[in-house]
Structure 1
Amino acid sequence: MRKLYILELAAALWLCMAGSVSAEILHMGMRGAAVESLQNDLVEAGYLARTVDGDYGSTTVKAVSEFQKDHGLPVTGKADDSTQAKLKEDDGKGYRDGGGIVYAQGNRGDMIAELQDRLAAAGYLTGASDGIYGGDTAAAVEQFQKDHRLPVSGAVDEQTLSLLGGVETGEAKKENKKEIKKEQKNKKDMHYTKGDRGSEIKTLQNKLRRAGYLDGEADGIYGNDTESAVRALQEEHGLSVTGNVDDATWKLLGGLSAPSAGGTLKAGDRGKRVVKLQNRLLLHGYNPGGSDGIYGAATAEAVRKLQAEEKLERTGMADTNVWERLENAPKFTGKYKKSFQMKSTAYTPTDGGGSGRTALGNYAGKGHAAVDPDVIPLGSIVYIEGYGYAICDDIGGAIQGYVIDVGVDSLEQAYQWGSRDNITVYLIS
């Protein structure tokens, strides 16, 4: 009888202990399958954009902390029971405002040195680039995020990295641009040219942005993208195509920038600026019915949808307010049918001597992507992490299997995108 009692007591104690068993608290410095599983959950929830490696390092700590902050949990950077359970609930939602965390305080290496170079070139960081993501770098990132109306975390997420990617770096480039600038200043009829920097270049870039010829932030650096924008403006308006801003180009820009002088696009307009508008609408998830350079009913309706969501007057005309919204980083709604892990490259409209049109006849560029039709059917709308929305309307000989080639507008943008492994592509429709 005593033996039976002891057995029953042992069983009861075992049940009590079993009932109190909880998931292991994961924290900085841990490695292994449990950490890898956590990182996969963070990727699926949209909080981590780094390669899953099973190493609980600084980036994972920051991703966990941001998740905890956004979900009302104690911010510890440690993945306890409640954090892991909440992550499972968010599995597959795949969205954080700003995108997944790429780099965070505590990271080291060449990529951090490159990041510091870009922050320095943009005027946010002083001193040598030592490749150590410390307090000064975090503070610089925070200020950059505040100035660009990004989620402020002090960590580099996908949107922050995308904006910083447009900042030119390198002492050799700087010295070369100084020489070009000095030479061009001797020319009588020359206002600005490639290599110039400063507040006047920012003014020029803002004029080009408002007129619909330039994307991204005005960084005060007359680089390849600014030169390409000036060339497009000159070509469309019958000026000498030099890529330099002379008297005629500057006067034209002054007219286009004035609210009453045609800076707004509307139904019936045609041309490259309409193509750019249509491609930007696609990039942000608004379908203009194609990119044909004709401002028709479908384009006007796409603009009205954007205006409605942004609480603007629903005119259907692409005015300054519309362009400003389209210059922000695209936001993922979190709604999708299926997701893929894919390799990604980038291509320009004229790659390989192409005609500038996609396989389905649209003008190529941002907002378009080439895919293998056996994986993603042509005509599908997808959301690509770190990029935005796109219509899959192109193909290519090297695009086979789980590969997606995203459209960009310039060779510089293609280099910035590079080749990326294991990005998440969400099938929308």
Structure 2
Amino acid sequence: MLYGSTIAKSAAVAATFTSSFFILPSYAAAHLINDDSLLYKGMNNEDIRTVQSILKATGQYSLRKETGYFGSATEKAVKQFQSVNGIQVDGIVGTQTKQALISAAHRQMNLLSVGSIGEDVKYLQTYLQRFGYYDDEIDGIFGIKTEHAVIVLQKGTNIAVDGIVGPITWGSIEKLSMEQNKGQATRPKTMIKAPSEARQSHIMKRPVQKQIASVREFYANSTAYTARCAGCSGTTATGINLLQNPDTKVVAVDPSVIPLGTKLYVEGYGYAVAGDTGGAIKGRKIDVFFNDNGTALQWGRRTVKVKILN
């Protein structure tokens, strides 16, 4: 298996999430980032509960339950979070710390694309609507209108245009949010022509993630890796040259659990092939391949559903 040189440093650079992480309701995250007030020891409100939820997921908040009260445990957790994220360590949740907390939550989200459904999509649609890119119902269904809004946003913020929402697109959303908070305009300067009804009908016939046919499925602990590191050959255990095929979806597996060559669907990653192995990949553990270190780092550690396909 091929490890990026920065992967081993990820714990010191960014917070590592536990499998208990849950996506915050959009209104909770939006209120946290849009409220300029400071949060500090002695206070008690819902924004503090939101902060505690994220800090609990990153492993810094040690109490079993979010209380909404900013006590010593919360202050300690905030300081730890600030330290690993390069923020002034003062134990006070201000604008910079709030933005880092929301970014941490975004890094843990699964990739979103046409066919995705659920609270993550509602959360995305709320942002798109607030920025003026989306004017339809907040329904939690990533359909053609949501994809269109994402494409317009990607074009307008000069990032790769693929209609898929991952770490880079979330970064653009965070930037727009900061600009909006400063009173700057965020509406798109130019609109892309909406897809035809025929294309809309075709896309909406794609199966959603929960309907993917499989012969077996289970949850696995997932990490990510890249071929671009010192000493890496760039070739997987099955002979796939990842440097020549950077867009290939390859997963490192334990062959005793998932035979090499098996076609898979990994929640948040997509269709892939079991094409690599690794000394640390034992049992129900997988390692998904990304072409660059940044995306691999932002994938982090998470629990995902793996589907063995026909």
TM-score by length of 2: 0.41
TM-score by length of 1: 0.31
Please tell me whether Structure 1 or Structure 2 has the larger radius of gyration of its CA atoms.
1
Higher relative contact order (CA 8 A, sep 6+): 2
Structure with the largest fraction of helix: 1
